[in-house]
Amino acid sequence: MQEGIEQYIMEVVPSSECEAKGVDSFVALGDEGYEHSVAEEVEAPVVLDDGKEGYVDFDLSQYIGGGVVEPTLGMEFTSEDDARNFYNAYAKQTGFSIRVNSYYRSKKDNSIISREFCCSKEGFRRERHAKKDSGEDAKRRRARALTREGCKALMTVRRRDCGRWYVAKLEKNHNHELVTPAMRHFLRSHKQDFGPEKSCSNSFSSPGLSLDAPVDVLTDCSSFGKMEFAVQSNVNYIGRGRLSTFGIDAQSLLGFFKIMQANDPAFYYAIQVDEEERLSSVFWVDTRSRIAYNCFSDVVAFDTTYQVNQYKMPFATFTGVNHHKHSVLFGCALLADETESTFSWLFTTWLEAMSGRQPGLIITDYDPAISRAVQQVFPQSSHRYCKWHIISKMPKELGHVYSVTPRTFQVEFDRCINKSETPDAFESTWQMLLDKYNLRGNNWLQSLCIDRKLWVPVYMRDTFFAGMYAAQRSGSVNSLFDGYVNSGTTLQDFAEQYEKALDERYEKEAKAEFETFYTKPVLKTPLPVEKQGADIYTRNMFTIFQDEVFESLLFAVKLSTEDGGTSTYEVSRFDEEHKTYFVAFNIAEQLASCSCKMFEFEGILCRHVLAVFKATNVFTLPQCYILKRWTRNAKEEVMLDLLPCVELQANSQKGRNLQYNILYQEAIKCAEEGMASDQIFKVALNALREARVKIVGAKRNAMKSMPQN
């Protein structure tokens, strides 16, 4: 980028023509012979420098500080394009986007003699340019996010009589946050500098590393191993490099892991071997996934529906949901089989990689082997079954009924599962279906009925699913590898596709972060609670919350009963008075509960409670209804919540792993912020080195104070 900026700056020594004319050769733009033309209408008049400063003799070296050449008054360029390219390069390094705002033309020859480049957040959106939609259209079409905030940063260049351009007006201060290096390619004026080959990380670009390159398993075992956060185990027993029972070449597999570890030193993997010392199952997880799990371990989905290579080897994934409601990977495995012992090994290994922190809720396929392994390894976790997996098995388990009346049975079964509003309603409808289709002797359906509280929605409204429970595969969360992995995927192709799938997900998260922090949503109401939601939630979660706020205006609230400090309200839409929801609200304690259970299920307050809040003059969300995991600062806040847990486990291996995890995440933040410029890089590097010196000193002092044996 340093070279990219320097190329746009003309030589410091002025030409003889301009030097001879000096300041007397310039005419103020308001003088006779010039007219003012505006490329884009602006609210405030453009005031330009009068040119009295003339040429400023400066030393270019003072502007080359830390990789960013700062624009200054009097700086010269050979052309208008060079000035624009320089300012755009400076903007990219600094963290903002630019646009051409206004210009002046000469009355003599109509040529442009002045051009203003401004921050893209200059000015404000004009209401008269917004298309007025009807109520229904407004509901279907969400307004484009606000990007302008009245920023005053700009650079105006003016043409001298000799044809060169100089900086006549400059404002470098912004009234908004500047974009971090990881997100700058989302800025409009810098998008052309970004391509797929530059996205995120390309793990396969490491010099000297490829899946085709042979890996000496016997002599290079020290390069691999079961990688742990705090303590690395050097045990690496891979069956002497022989082929596994599934035909997977251990050499190629280790080549894949070597590439991963070259790019991620904390990459973790574990291998299971069979009685004949052949590779049978393998698990791996990268650092980003482990950090994500620390933040979003409340709900985890485990899926084994993918198949890899011609042997149809099960590809298992642990996934969750981040604060943007995007799928996030917590680890992967290739399994030898789907037996209880294999699942127990996998769950135990995964739990070790995650510092022993059990998930709050784990969603799995409806499978006895998985269920027994979950009970054994995750005794502290709640366990639920994925409805999508159950429904997908119906053609196989109910072949006769499906072949005779597929559509009729499917509609009635779906209504029974998803439309039953009470447990009694579900059970009566279920029994009716068994009788109607003569299914009482079906063992699979009998088993499902026994476990109905673990998969039927009406029984799980009090269980938090983070939006992962749906009719499709765990709310599309486990579809992270859809389009990348299938039964025809070879091992070598799988490694590449795995990286592509993850890169796409991380890029999607970065885009969501950009939209959350650097744009503002258009509010639909004047209610303070909507403004509060816009300030605290990520953009995707605010979209959900905003819909609830808007819909709450369509509900009538009626006081039903009072019991001590708790009042119960009947809430119904004006056009659906027959459908009533009940909200219990203790105004003194600011606690509310709705019969729809949306907050308990998804973590976002429902329209019914919001309608009661409005009716009782509660204009902002009580703190207890702001779930940290959906907020824009979710990762930072969750890490702070982990500190007490770290202190309690300080002397255990789990505690040390968790400590490493937190320190690693903070180090990554320093690296990301330190990329802003060469100067900031030096500041970050010096700070990290000073911190390391202090840490080493503290360790030495601690060792000296320890009692000698």
Taking 70 as the threshold, does the pLDDT of residue 544 lie above it?
yes
Question: Residues of the chain with pLDDT > 70: what percent?
Answer: 71
Higher pLDDT, 307 or 17: 307
Q: Alpha-carbon distance 185 to 511, whole Å?
A: 10
Name the residue among 353, 355, 363, 361 with its Cα closest to residue 380: 361
pTM of the model: 0.72
CB 353, CB 341: distance < 8 Å = no
Cβ neighbours of residue 388 closer than 8 Å, sequence gap 6 or more:
470, 471, 472, 473, 474
How confident is the model at residue 645, as a pLDDT?
52
**pLDDT class for 462, splitting at 50, 70, 90?**
very high
What is the largest distance, in Å, between two alpha-carbon atoms of the chain?
104
604 residue type, one letter: I
SS3 705: helix
Taking 50 as the threshold, does the pLDDT of residue 412 lie above it?
yes
SS3 129: helix
How confident is the model at residue 205, as a pLDDT?
32
**pLDDT class for 435, splitting at 50, 70, 90?**
very high
Taking 80 as the threshold, does the pLDDT of residue 540 lie above it?
yes
CB 474, CB 449: distance < 8 Å = no
**pLDDT class for 341, splitting at 50, 70, 90?**
very high
Pairing of strands 382-385, 361-364: parallel
Lowest mean pLDDT among 95-109, 193-207, 377-391: 193-207
Q: What average pLDDT does the chain have?
A: 76
Average pLDDT value for residue range 73-97: 88
Name the residue among 256, 174, 242, 170 with its Cα closest to residue 211: 256
Q: What is the DSSP letter of 362?
A: E
Lowest mean pLDDT among 53-67, 212-226, 348-362, 513-527: 212-226
How confident is the model at residue 217, as a pLDDT?
30
Average pLDDT value for residue range 78-100: 88
Taking 90 as the threshold, does the pLDDT of residue 613 lie above it?
yes
**pLDDT class for 492, splitting at 50, 70, 90?**
low
Average pLDDT value for residue range 367-395: 93
How confident is the model at residue 199, as a pLDDT?
41
636 residue type, one letter: E
The helix or strand, by DSSP H or E, that contains position 281, with its residue range, turns out to be strand 279-285
CB 316, CB 481: distance < 8 Å = no
